[in-house]
Structure 1
Amino acid sequence: MFSMAQYEAVISEIEQGTKTFEARLAEVIPAADRVSSQWYVGEVLGDLLQWIARKTVEAGTAILNFILDVLKGATAPIFMFIDAYKWTDFKATANGVSTDLTAQNLVIDNTDWSGKGHDAYLTAASAQATAAGRVGSIAKAASDNLLLCATAGLAFYIVVAGVIAKLIVEVVAATTAISTAVFSAVGAMIFLESGAVNTAAIVTAVGVLAAFLGTQVNALVILHSEAVDPTSFPNSAWPKSNSAQYNDGTVNDGDADWSLKGG
Protein backbone atom coordinates (compact mmCIF):
# COMPACT_ATOMS: atom_id res chain seq x y z
CA MET A 1 0.00 0.00 0.00
CA PHE A 2 1.27 3.46 -0.89
CA SER A 3 1.87 5.94 1.93
CA MET A 4 2.52 9.56 1.03
CA ALA A 5 4.27 10.23 4.35
CA GLN A 6 6.50 7.18 3.96
CA TYR A 7 7.32 8.05 0.37
CA GLU A 8 8.27 11.64 1.20
CA ALA A 9 10.45 10.37 4.05
CA VAL A 10 12.20 7.90 1.72
CA ILE A 11 12.88 10.56 -0.93
CA SER A 12 14.16 12.96 1.74
CA GLU A 13 16.46 10.22 3.03
CA ILE A 14 17.81 9.59 -0.47
CA GLU A 15 18.38 13.29 -1.16
CA GLN A 16 20.21 13.75 2.14
CA GLY A 17 22.10 10.53 1.56
CA THR A 18 23.37 11.62 -1.85
CA LYS A 19 24.72 14.84 -0.33
CA THR A 20 26.45 12.93 2.47
CA PHE A 21 27.83 10.36 0.04
CA GLU A 22 29.20 13.09 -2.23
CA ALA A 23 30.86 14.80 0.73
CA ARG A 24 32.45 11.54 1.88
CA LEU A 25 33.74 10.82 -1.62
CA ALA A 26 35.48 14.19 -1.59
CA GLU A 27 37.52 12.99 1.41
CA VAL A 28 38.98 9.90 -0.27
CA ILE A 29 41.71 11.44 -2.47
CA PRO A 30 42.90 13.91 0.23
CA ALA A 31 43.20 10.95 2.61
CA ALA A 32 45.37 9.12 0.08
CA ASP A 33 47.46 12.27 -0.44
CA ARG A 34 48.15 12.56 3.27
CA VAL A 35 49.21 8.94 3.64
CA SER A 36 51.33 8.78 0.46
CA SER A 37 53.26 11.87 1.55
CA GLN A 38 54.43 10.24 4.78
CA TRP A 39 58.13 9.38 5.02
CA TYR A 40 57.45 5.73 5.79
CA VAL A 41 55.37 5.20 2.63
CA GLY A 42 57.44 4.17 -0.35
CA GLU A 43 56.94 5.57 -3.84
CA VAL A 44 55.39 2.37 -5.18
CA LEU A 45 52.92 2.12 -2.32
CA GLY A 46 52.16 5.84 -2.58
CA ASP A 47 51.35 5.54 -6.28
CA LEU A 48 49.17 2.52 -5.54
CA LEU A 49 47.26 4.47 -2.90
CA GLN A 50 46.70 7.33 -5.33
CA TRP A 51 45.43 4.93 -7.98
CA ILE A 52 43.10 3.17 -5.55
CA ALA A 53 41.76 6.51 -4.32
CA ARG A 54 41.02 7.69 -7.86
CA LYS A 55 39.29 4.44 -8.75
CA THR A 56 37.26 4.60 -5.56
CA VAL A 57 36.09 8.12 -6.40
CA GLU A 58 35.37 7.17 -10.02
CA ALA A 59 33.24 4.20 -8.95
CA GLY A 60 31.48 6.23 -6.27
CA THR A 61 30.79 9.12 -8.64
CA ALA A 62 29.32 6.77 -11.24
CA ILE A 63 27.00 5.31 -8.60
CA LEU A 64 26.08 8.78 -7.36
CA ASN A 65 25.23 9.97 -10.88
CA PHE A 66 23.13 6.87 -11.42
CA ILE A 67 21.15 7.54 -8.24
CA LEU A 68 20.70 11.22 -9.11
CA ASP A 69 19.42 10.14 -12.51
CA VAL A 70 16.74 7.82 -11.11
CA LEU A 71 15.72 10.57 -8.68
CA LYS A 72 14.52 12.63 -11.65
CA GLY A 73 11.37 10.52 -11.68
CA ALA A 74 10.80 10.75 -7.94
CA THR A 75 7.72 12.97 -8.26
CA ALA A 76 5.89 10.53 -10.56
CA PRO A 77 4.56 8.20 -7.80
CA ILE A 78 3.24 11.24 -5.91
CA PHE A 79 1.20 12.41 -8.89
CA MET A 80 0.09 8.83 -9.52
CA PHE A 81 -1.22 8.60 -5.97
CA ILE A 82 -2.98 11.97 -6.21
CA ASP A 83 -4.58 11.04 -9.53
CA ALA A 84 -5.60 7.64 -8.18
CA TYR A 85 -7.40 9.41 -5.34
CA LYS A 86 -9.15 11.77 -7.77
CA TRP A 87 -10.29 8.86 -9.93
CA THR A 88 -12.03 7.31 -6.90
CA ASP A 89 -14.13 10.48 -6.59
CA PHE A 90 -14.98 10.26 -10.27
CA LYS A 91 -15.89 6.60 -9.84
CA ALA A 92 -18.22 7.42 -6.95
CA THR A 93 -19.96 10.15 -8.96
CA ALA A 94 -20.41 7.94 -12.03
CA ASN A 95 -21.69 5.00 -9.99
CA GLY A 96 -24.07 7.34 -8.19
CA VAL A 97 -25.52 8.48 -11.51
CA SER A 98 -25.79 4.87 -12.65
CA THR A 99 -27.69 3.93 -9.50
CA ASP A 100 -30.05 6.90 -9.78
CA LEU A 101 -30.94 5.95 -13.35
CA THR A 102 -31.74 2.29 -12.74
CA ALA A 103 -35.23 1.13 -13.63
CA GLN A 104 -36.00 0.52 -9.95
CA ASN A 105 -35.45 4.20 -9.19
CA LEU A 106 -37.29 5.46 -12.27
CA VAL A 107 -40.41 3.28 -12.28
CA ILE A 108 -43.54 5.39 -12.65
CA ASP A 109 -46.99 4.24 -11.61
CA ASN A 110 -48.59 2.85 -14.76
CA THR A 111 -51.92 4.37 -13.79
CA ASP A 112 -50.41 7.81 -14.35
CA TRP A 113 -48.19 7.11 -17.34
CA SER A 114 -47.96 4.08 -19.58
CA GLY A 115 -47.52 3.13 -23.18
CA LYS A 116 -44.68 3.48 -25.63
CA GLY A 117 -43.53 6.77 -24.15
CA HIS A 118 -43.24 5.23 -20.71
CA ASP A 119 -41.38 2.19 -22.01
CA ALA A 120 -39.10 4.25 -24.24
CA TYR A 121 -38.24 6.50 -21.33
CA LEU A 122 -37.18 3.57 -19.15
CA THR A 123 -35.20 2.08 -22.04
CA ALA A 124 -33.35 5.35 -22.61
CA ALA A 125 -32.71 5.74 -18.90
CA SER A 126 -31.41 2.19 -18.69
CA ALA A 127 -28.89 2.94 -21.43
CA GLN A 128 -27.78 6.00 -19.48
CA ALA A 129 -27.36 3.92 -16.33
CA THR A 130 -25.28 1.32 -18.18
CA ALA A 131 -23.05 3.99 -19.72
CA ALA A 132 -22.54 5.71 -16.37
CA GLY A 133 -21.74 2.35 -14.79
CA ARG A 134 -19.11 1.71 -17.45
CA VAL A 135 -17.54 5.10 -16.70
CA GLY A 136 -17.42 4.09 -13.04
CA SER A 137 -15.74 0.82 -13.99
CA ILE A 138 -13.16 2.62 -16.12
CA ALA A 139 -12.50 5.10 -13.32
CA LYS A 140 -11.95 2.26 -10.85
CA ALA A 141 -9.52 0.51 -13.18
CA ALA A 142 -7.60 3.75 -13.72
CA SER A 143 -7.42 4.39 -9.98
CA ASP A 144 -6.31 0.84 -9.19
CA ASN A 145 -3.55 0.88 -11.80
CA LEU A 146 -2.27 4.30 -10.77
CA LEU A 147 -2.11 3.15 -7.16
CA LEU A 148 -0.21 0.03 -8.18
CA CYS A 149 2.28 2.20 -10.08
CA ALA A 150 2.72 4.49 -7.09
CA THR A 151 3.28 1.52 -4.79
CA ALA A 152 5.86 0.08 -7.18
CA GLY A 153 7.63 3.44 -7.22
CA LEU A 154 7.72 3.48 -3.42
CA ALA A 155 9.22 -0.01 -3.31
CA PHE A 156 11.83 0.96 -5.89
CA TYR A 157 12.99 4.08 -4.04
CA ILE A 158 13.12 2.17 -0.75
CA VAL A 159 15.70 -0.06 -2.46
CA VAL A 160 17.62 3.02 -3.60
CA ALA A 161 17.54 4.49 -0.08
CA GLY A 162 18.94 1.26 1.33
CA VAL A 163 21.73 1.19 -1.24
CA ILE A 164 22.80 4.80 -0.65
CA ALA A 165 22.83 4.28 3.13
CA LYS A 166 25.06 1.24 2.71
CA LEU A 167 27.37 3.09 0.31
CA ILE A 168 27.87 5.91 2.82
CA VAL A 169 29.04 3.42 5.43
CA GLU A 170 31.33 1.74 2.91
CA VAL A 171 32.96 4.91 1.59
CA VAL A 172 33.65 6.04 5.16
CA ALA A 173 35.24 2.66 5.85
CA ALA A 174 37.25 2.91 2.63
CA THR A 175 38.50 6.40 3.54
CA THR A 176 39.53 5.16 6.97
CA ALA A 177 41.30 2.19 5.42
CA ILE A 178 43.14 4.37 2.90
CA SER A 179 44.28 6.60 5.77
CA THR A 180 46.22 3.63 7.15
CA ALA A 181 48.72 2.44 4.58
CA VAL A 182 48.64 -1.15 5.80
CA PHE A 183 44.92 -1.69 5.09
CA SER A 184 44.33 0.90 2.38
CA ALA A 185 44.36 -1.44 -0.61
CA VAL A 186 42.13 -4.01 1.04
CA GLY A 187 39.62 -1.43 2.29
CA ALA A 188 39.34 0.41 -1.00
CA MET A 189 38.98 -2.76 -3.05
CA ILE A 190 36.19 -3.89 -0.73
CA PHE A 191 34.39 -0.61 -1.48
CA LEU A 192 34.89 -1.00 -5.22
CA GLU A 193 33.51 -4.54 -5.15
CA SER A 194 30.57 -3.63 -2.92
CA GLY A 195 29.79 -0.58 -5.03
CA ALA A 196 29.51 -2.76 -8.11
CA VAL A 197 27.16 -5.09 -6.25
CA ASN A 198 24.95 -2.20 -5.12
CA THR A 199 24.85 -0.75 -8.62
CA ALA A 200 23.71 -4.14 -9.88
CA ALA A 201 20.99 -4.12 -7.23
CA ILE A 202 19.71 -0.75 -8.48
CA VAL A 203 19.83 -1.90 -12.10
CA THR A 204 17.84 -4.98 -11.12
CA ALA A 205 15.29 -2.80 -9.31
CA VAL A 206 14.98 -0.57 -12.38
CA GLY A 207 14.40 -3.66 -14.51
CA VAL A 208 11.67 -4.87 -12.17
CA LEU A 209 10.06 -1.43 -12.17
CA ALA A 210 10.23 -1.23 -15.97
CA ALA A 211 8.59 -4.64 -16.28
CA PHE A 212 5.86 -3.60 -13.87
CA LEU A 213 5.21 -0.37 -15.74
CA GLY A 214 4.98 -2.45 -18.88
CA THR A 215 1.92 -4.12 -17.40
CA GLN A 216 0.44 -0.67 -16.93
CA VAL A 217 0.74 -0.07 -20.66
CA ASN A 218 -1.34 -3.20 -21.15
CA ALA A 219 -3.83 -1.82 -18.65
CA LEU A 220 -4.11 1.40 -20.66
CA VAL A 221 -4.95 -0.65 -23.74
CA ILE A 222 -7.66 -2.44 -21.78
CA LEU A 223 -9.04 0.87 -20.51
CA HIS A 224 -9.18 2.22 -24.05
CA SER A 225 -10.96 -0.93 -25.17
CA GLU A 226 -13.59 -0.46 -22.47
CA ALA A 227 -14.04 3.19 -23.35
CA VAL A 228 -14.84 2.49 -27.00
CA ASP A 229 -16.91 -0.63 -26.34
CA PRO A 230 -20.18 -0.01 -28.27
CA THR A 231 -22.09 -2.12 -25.76
CA SER A 232 -22.36 0.90 -23.47
CA PHE A 233 -21.48 3.66 -25.92
CA PRO A 234 -23.38 3.23 -29.22
CA ASN A 235 -21.30 4.41 -32.18
CA SER A 236 -18.55 5.34 -29.70
CA ALA A 237 -20.78 8.05 -28.25
CA TRP A 238 -22.82 8.58 -25.14
CA PRO A 239 -26.35 7.11 -25.58
CA LYS A 240 -28.95 9.70 -26.48
CA SER A 241 -31.40 10.64 -23.78
CA ASN A 242 -34.13 12.59 -25.55
CA SER A 243 -36.87 12.10 -28.13
CA ALA A 244 -34.51 12.94 -31.00
CA GLN A 245 -33.40 9.32 -31.02
CA TYR A 246 -36.93 8.20 -31.91
CA ASN A 247 -38.71 8.54 -35.25
CA ASP A 248 -41.40 10.86 -33.96
CA GLY A 249 -41.23 13.18 -30.97
CA THR A 250 -44.92 14.18 -31.01
CA VAL A 251 -47.39 12.72 -28.56
CA ASN A 252 -50.81 13.52 -30.01
CA ASP A 253 -50.97 12.05 -33.53
CA GLY A 254 -51.48 8.47 -32.39
CA ASP A 255 -48.40 6.95 -34.03
CA ALA A 256 -45.54 8.49 -32.03
CA ASP A 257 -43.06 6.35 -30.17
CA TRP A 258 -43.60 8.66 -27.20
CA SER A 259 -47.43 8.55 -27.30
CA LEU A 260 -49.24 8.83 -24.00
CA LYS A 261 -51.79 6.16 -23.19
CA GLY A 262 -55.07 7.13 -24.80
CA GLY A 263 -53.41 9.99 -26.73
Structure 2
Amino acid sequence: MAFNAAQYTATIDKLNSGLTTMSTKLNQVGPKAESTANKWYVPGFVAKALIWCAKKIIEIGSWILKKIGELLKGAAVPVLAFKDAWTWQSTVRGQATDVAGNVAADALQAPKQWKGDGATAYTSAVKLQPTAAAQIATSADKVATALTLCAVAGLAFYVALGVIVVKFLAALTAALVGLGSVVFSWAGAAIIVEEAGVNTALVITAVTTLVAALGTQAQQMTAVEGEAKDNKAFPGGKWPVATA
Protein backbone atom coordinates (compact mmCIF):
# COMPACT_ATOMS: atom_id res chain seq x y z
CA MET A 1 0.00 0.00 0.00
CA ALA A 2 1.38 3.39 -1.00
CA PHE A 3 0.56 6.53 0.93
CA ASN A 4 -2.20 8.61 -0.63
CA ALA A 5 -3.02 11.88 1.14
CA ALA A 6 -6.55 12.11 -0.29
CA GLN A 7 -7.32 8.52 0.71
CA TYR A 8 -5.92 9.14 4.16
CA THR A 9 -8.03 12.27 4.70
CA ALA A 10 -11.15 10.41 3.57
CA THR A 11 -10.31 7.54 5.92
CA ILE A 12 -9.97 9.83 8.93
CA ASP A 13 -13.20 11.69 8.04
CA LYS A 14 -15.10 8.38 7.82
CA LEU A 15 -13.62 7.27 11.13
CA ASN A 16 -14.75 10.43 12.89
CA SER A 17 -18.19 10.17 11.33
CA GLY A 18 -18.41 6.49 12.29
CA LEU A 19 -17.51 7.23 15.91
CA THR A 20 -20.23 9.89 16.08
CA THR A 21 -22.79 7.42 14.75
CA MET A 22 -21.50 4.76 17.14
CA SER A 23 -21.91 7.10 20.11
CA THR A 24 -25.48 7.89 19.07
CA LYS A 25 -26.41 4.22 18.69
CA LEU A 26 -24.76 3.24 21.98
CA ASN A 27 -26.89 5.81 23.76
CA GLN A 28 -29.97 4.03 22.37
CA VAL A 29 -29.02 0.58 23.61
CA GLY A 30 -29.94 0.98 27.29
CA PRO A 31 -33.31 2.66 26.77
CA LYS A 32 -34.22 0.22 24.00
CA ALA A 33 -33.51 -2.81 26.20
CA GLU A 34 -35.31 -1.37 29.23
CA SER A 35 -38.34 -0.43 27.14
CA THR A 36 -38.69 -3.96 25.82
CA ALA A 37 -37.86 -5.62 29.15
CA ASN A 38 -40.58 -3.64 30.92
CA LYS A 39 -43.34 -4.86 28.60
CA TRP A 40 -45.88 -6.83 30.63
CA TYR A 41 -45.85 -9.73 28.20
CA VAL A 42 -42.04 -10.18 28.21
CA PRO A 43 -41.02 -13.24 30.31
CA GLY A 44 -38.60 -12.61 33.15
CA PHE A 45 -35.78 -14.67 31.66
CA VAL A 46 -36.05 -12.74 28.38
CA ALA A 47 -36.03 -9.41 30.21
CA LYS A 48 -32.95 -10.53 32.11
CA ALA A 49 -31.20 -11.50 28.87
CA LEU A 50 -32.07 -8.15 27.32
CA ILE A 51 -30.61 -6.12 30.19
CA TRP A 52 -27.49 -8.29 30.42
CA CYS A 53 -26.89 -8.02 26.68
CA ALA A 54 -27.42 -4.25 26.70
CA LYS A 55 -24.92 -3.76 29.52
CA LYS A 56 -22.29 -5.87 27.75
CA ILE A 57 -22.78 -4.07 24.46
CA ILE A 58 -22.48 -0.69 26.15
CA GLU A 59 -19.37 -1.85 28.01
CA ILE A 60 -17.66 -3.18 24.89
CA GLY A 61 -18.84 -0.32 22.68
CA SER A 62 -17.66 2.30 25.15
CA TRP A 63 -14.22 0.68 25.23
CA ILE A 64 -14.00 0.66 21.44
CA LEU A 65 -15.25 4.24 21.23
CA LYS A 66 -12.75 5.46 23.80
CA LYS A 67 -9.81 3.47 22.42
CA ILE A 68 -10.30 4.53 18.80
CA GLY A 69 -10.86 8.11 19.95
CA GLU A 70 -7.49 7.99 21.73
CA LEU A 71 -5.81 6.48 18.67
CA LEU A 72 -7.21 9.23 16.46
CA LYS A 73 -5.20 11.77 18.45
CA GLY A 74 -2.20 10.65 16.43
CA ALA A 75 -3.98 11.00 13.09
CA ALA A 76 -1.76 13.89 11.98
CA VAL A 77 1.45 11.86 12.32
CA PRO A 78 1.30 9.86 9.05
CA VAL A 79 0.76 13.04 7.02
CA LEU A 80 3.64 14.81 8.77
CA ALA A 81 5.85 11.74 8.32
CA PHE A 82 5.11 11.69 4.59
CA LYS A 83 5.88 15.40 4.23
CA ASP A 84 9.11 15.02 6.20
CA ALA A 85 10.08 12.04 4.04
CA TRP A 86 9.73 14.25 0.97
CA THR A 87 11.95 16.90 2.57
CA TRP A 88 14.64 14.40 3.51
CA GLN A 89 14.60 12.90 0.03
CA SER A 90 14.31 15.99 -2.16
CA THR A 91 16.17 18.56 -0.06
CA VAL A 92 18.65 16.85 2.26
CA ARG A 93 19.57 13.90 0.03
CA GLY A 94 19.41 16.01 -3.12
CA GLN A 95 21.77 18.67 -1.81
CA ALA A 96 24.10 16.10 -0.26
CA THR A 97 24.50 14.32 -3.61
CA ASP A 98 25.22 17.69 -5.23
CA VAL A 99 27.99 18.34 -2.70
CA ALA A 100 29.39 14.84 -3.13
CA GLY A 101 29.59 15.36 -6.88
CA ASN A 102 31.04 18.88 -6.69
CA VAL A 103 33.84 18.05 -4.23
CA ALA A 104 34.85 14.77 -5.85
CA ALA A 105 38.55 14.74 -6.76
CA ASP A 106 37.88 14.80 -10.51
CA ALA A 107 35.36 17.64 -10.17
CA LEU A 108 37.51 20.09 -8.18
CA GLN A 109 38.26 23.11 -10.32
CA ALA A 110 40.66 25.04 -8.09
CA PRO A 111 43.57 22.53 -8.24
CA LYS A 112 43.44 22.70 -12.02
CA GLN A 113 44.49 26.35 -11.87
CA TRP A 114 46.16 26.41 -8.46
CA LYS A 115 49.53 24.69 -8.09
CA GLY A 116 51.98 24.34 -5.25
CA ASP A 117 52.06 23.23 -1.63
CA GLY A 118 48.82 25.04 -0.81
CA ALA A 119 46.95 23.32 -3.62
CA THR A 120 48.33 19.94 -2.60
CA ALA A 121 47.38 20.51 1.04
CA TYR A 122 43.88 21.62 0.04
CA THR A 123 43.34 18.62 -2.22
CA SER A 124 44.49 16.30 0.56
CA ALA A 125 42.26 17.95 3.15
CA VAL A 126 39.13 18.01 1.01
CA LYS A 127 39.30 14.38 -0.08
CA LEU A 128 37.16 13.25 2.87
CA GLN A 129 34.28 15.55 1.96
CA PRO A 130 32.83 13.42 -0.87
CA THR A 131 32.66 10.48 1.54
CA ALA A 132 30.94 12.60 4.18
CA ALA A 133 28.46 14.04 1.70
CA ALA A 134 27.73 10.59 0.28
CA GLN A 135 27.12 9.31 3.81
CA ILE A 136 24.66 12.13 4.46
CA ALA A 137 22.86 11.26 1.21
CA THR A 138 22.68 7.59 2.18
CA SER A 139 21.43 8.37 5.68
CA ALA A 140 18.88 10.86 4.34
CA ASP A 141 17.56 8.20 1.99
CA LYS A 142 17.18 5.77 4.89
CA VAL A 143 15.39 8.38 7.00
CA ALA A 144 13.06 9.20 4.09
CA THR A 145 12.32 5.51 3.57
CA ALA A 146 11.63 4.95 7.27
CA LEU A 147 9.29 7.96 7.41
CA THR A 148 7.47 6.85 4.28
CA LEU A 149 6.97 3.36 5.71
CA CYS A 150 5.68 4.93 8.94
CA ALA A 151 3.18 6.97 6.91
CA VAL A 152 2.07 3.87 4.99
CA ALA A 153 1.76 1.88 8.23
CA GLY A 154 -0.32 4.69 9.70
CA LEU A 155 -2.65 4.68 6.69
CA ALA A 156 -3.08 0.90 6.88
CA PHE A 157 -3.72 1.19 10.62
CA TYR A 158 -6.49 3.76 10.31
CA VAL A 159 -8.04 1.90 7.37
CA ALA A 160 -8.16 -1.18 9.64
CA LEU A 161 -9.81 0.87 12.39
CA GLY A 162 -12.34 2.12 9.85
CA VAL A 163 -13.24 -1.47 8.94
CA ILE A 164 -13.65 -2.29 12.63
CA VAL A 165 -15.99 0.68 13.14
CA VAL A 166 -18.13 -0.40 10.17
CA LYS A 167 -18.30 -3.97 11.52
CA PHE A 168 -19.24 -2.83 15.00
CA LEU A 169 -21.89 -0.44 13.68
CA ALA A 170 -23.46 -3.35 11.80
CA ALA A 171 -23.44 -5.43 14.99
CA LEU A 172 -24.84 -2.48 16.94
CA THR A 173 -27.66 -1.99 14.45
CA ALA A 174 -28.54 -5.68 14.66
CA ALA A 175 -28.39 -5.49 18.45
CA LEU A 176 -30.83 -2.59 18.55
CA VAL A 177 -33.25 -4.56 16.41
CA GLY A 178 -32.85 -7.59 18.65
CA LEU A 179 -33.20 -5.61 21.86
CA GLY A 180 -36.44 -4.15 20.58
CA SER A 181 -37.89 -7.57 19.80
CA VAL A 182 -39.65 -9.94 22.13
CA VAL A 183 -38.19 -12.82 20.09
CA PHE A 184 -35.03 -12.89 22.15
CA SER A 185 -33.02 -15.50 24.03
CA TRP A 186 -29.80 -15.98 25.98
CA ALA A 187 -28.31 -17.59 22.87
CA GLY A 188 -29.18 -14.54 20.79
CA ALA A 189 -27.72 -12.25 23.43
CA ALA A 190 -24.50 -14.27 23.52
CA ILE A 191 -24.12 -14.11 19.73
CA ILE A 192 -24.53 -10.31 19.69
CA VAL A 193 -22.06 -9.84 22.54
CA GLU A 194 -19.58 -12.24 20.93
CA GLU A 195 -19.71 -10.28 17.66
CA ALA A 196 -19.11 -7.05 19.57
CA GLY A 197 -16.23 -8.65 21.48
CA VAL A 198 -14.54 -9.76 18.26
CA ASN A 199 -14.13 -6.10 17.37
CA THR A 200 -12.17 -5.38 20.56
CA ALA A 201 -9.74 -8.13 19.57
CA LEU A 202 -9.41 -6.59 16.11
CA VAL A 203 -8.51 -3.22 17.65
CA ILE A 204 -5.80 -4.84 19.75
CA THR A 205 -4.48 -6.71 16.70
CA ALA A 206 -4.35 -3.50 14.66
CA VAL A 207 -2.42 -1.71 17.41
CA THR A 208 0.01 -4.62 17.77
CA THR A 209 0.66 -4.64 14.01
CA LEU A 210 1.30 -0.89 13.99
CA VAL A 211 3.68 -1.08 16.96
CA ALA A 212 5.65 -3.85 15.23
CA ALA A 213 5.94 -1.79 12.03
CA LEU A 214 7.06 1.32 13.90
CA GLY A 215 9.52 -0.74 15.92
CA THR A 216 11.23 -1.85 12.72
CA GLN A 217 11.56 1.76 11.58
CA ALA A 218 12.91 2.75 14.99
CA GLN A 219 15.71 0.23 14.49
CA GLN A 220 16.43 1.81 11.13
CA MET A 221 16.69 5.24 12.75
CA THR A 222 19.09 3.84 15.33
CA ALA A 223 21.29 2.59 12.49
CA VAL A 224 21.23 6.06 10.93
CA GLU A 225 22.30 7.58 14.25
CA GLY A 226 25.28 5.22 14.25
CA GLU A 227 26.21 6.30 10.72
CA ALA A 228 26.18 9.94 11.81
CA LYS A 229 28.87 9.13 14.36
CA ASP A 230 31.05 7.20 11.92
CA ASN A 231 34.60 8.59 12.25
CA LYS A 232 35.49 7.38 8.78
CA ALA A 233 33.01 9.76 7.19
CA PHE A 234 33.03 12.40 9.94
CA PRO A 235 36.43 12.59 11.69
CA GLY A 236 35.89 13.53 15.32
CA GLY A 237 32.17 13.53 14.70
CA LYS A 238 32.41 16.65 12.51
CA TRP A 239 32.23 17.61 8.88
CA PRO A 240 35.76 17.31 7.39
CA VAL A 241 37.00 20.88 6.82
CA ALA A 242 39.01 21.74 3.74
CA THR A 243 42.07 23.05 5.58
CA ALA A 244 45.42 21.42 6.22
TM-score (norm 1): 0.85
Of Structure 1 and Structure 2, which has the larger fraction of its residues in helix? 2
Q: Which residue of 2 aligns with 1:249?
A: none
Q: Which residue of 1 aligns with 2:126?
A: 125
Residues 179-194 of structure 1 mapped to structure 2, 5 A cutoff:
179-183=180-184, 185-194=186-195
Residues 11-22 of structure 1 mapped to structure 2, 5 A cutoff:
11-22=12-23
Deviations 1:29-83 (A, max 9, x none): 1211221222321334223322221222112112211211222222221211111
Matching residue's letter, 1:123: S
Instruction: List alignment gaps of at least 5 residues for structure 1.
Output: 247-263
**Structure 1 residues 178-187 or 67-76, which shifts more?**
178-187
1:233 CA drift (Å)? 0.7
Q: Which residue of 1 aligns with 2:76?
A: 75
Q: CA separation in 2, counterparts of 1:76 and 1:184?
A: 46
Tell whether the 8 Å contact from 1:174 to 1:187 is kept in structure 2 after alignment: no
Is 1:2 paired with 2:38?
no
1:165 CA drift (Å)? 0.6
Residues 1-263 of structure 1 mapped to structure 2, 5 A cutoff:
1-88=2-89, 89-107=91-109, 112-183=113-184, 185-242=186-243, 246=244
Higher relative contact order (CA 8 A, sep 6+): 2
Tell whether the 8 Å contact from 1:56 to 1:188 is kept in structure 2 after alignment: no
Q: 1:149 to 1:109 in 2, by over 3 A?
A: closer
Q: CA separation in 1, counterparts of 2:17 and 2:185?
A: 27
Q: CA separation in 2, counterparts of 1:41 and 1:163?
A: 33
Matching residue's letter, 1:172: T
1:121 CA drift (Å)? 2.4
Matching residue's letter, 1:159: A
Q: CA separation in 1, counterparts of 2:161 and 2:126?
A: 53
**Structure 1 residues 157-166 or 64-73, which shifts more?**
64-73
Q: 1:62 to 1:207 in 2, by over 3 A?
A: same
1:170 CA drift (Å)? 0.8
Matching residue's letter, 1:239: P
Q: Which residue of 2 aligns with 1:254?
A: none
Tell whether the 8 Å contact from 1:95 to 1:132 is kept in structure 2 after alignment: yes
Q: CA separation in 1, counterparts of 2:241 and 2:63?
A: 60
1:157 CA drift (Å)? 1.1
1:234 CA drift (Å)? 0.8
Q: Percent identity?
A: 36
Q: CA separation in 1, counterparts of 2:219 and 2:111?
A: 47
Partner SS state of residue 105, structure 1: coil
Q: CA separation in 2, counterparts of 1:24 and 1:13?
A: 16
Tell whether the 8 Å contact from 1:178 to 1:184 is kept in structure 2 after alignment: no
Matching residue's letter, 1:87: W
Matching residue's letter, 2:16: E
1:187 CA drift (Å)? 4.3
Q: CA separation in 2, counterparts of 1:203 and 1:225?
A: 33
Q: CA separation in 2, counterparts of 1:120 and 1:208?
A: 55
Tell whether the 8 Å contact from 1:84 to 1:147 is kept in structure 2 after alignment: yes
1:102 CA drift (Å)? 1.3
1:15 CA drift (Å)? 0.9
Q: CA separation in 1, counterparts of 2:75 and 2:102?
A: 41
**Structure 1 residues 100-109 or 209-218, which shifts more?**
100-109
Q: CA separation in 1, counterparts of 2:163 and 2:30?
A: 25
Q: CA separation in 2, counterparts of 1:109 and 1:216?
A: 43
TM-score (norm 2): 0.92
Partner SS state of residue 51, structure 1: helix
Instruction: List alignment gaps of at least 5 residues for structure 2.
Output: none
Q: CA separation in 1, counterparts of 2:57 and 2:216?
A: 38
Deviations 1:147-166 (A, max 9, x none): 11111111111111000011
Tell whether the 8 Å contact from 1:178 to 1:185 is kept in structure 2 after alignment: no
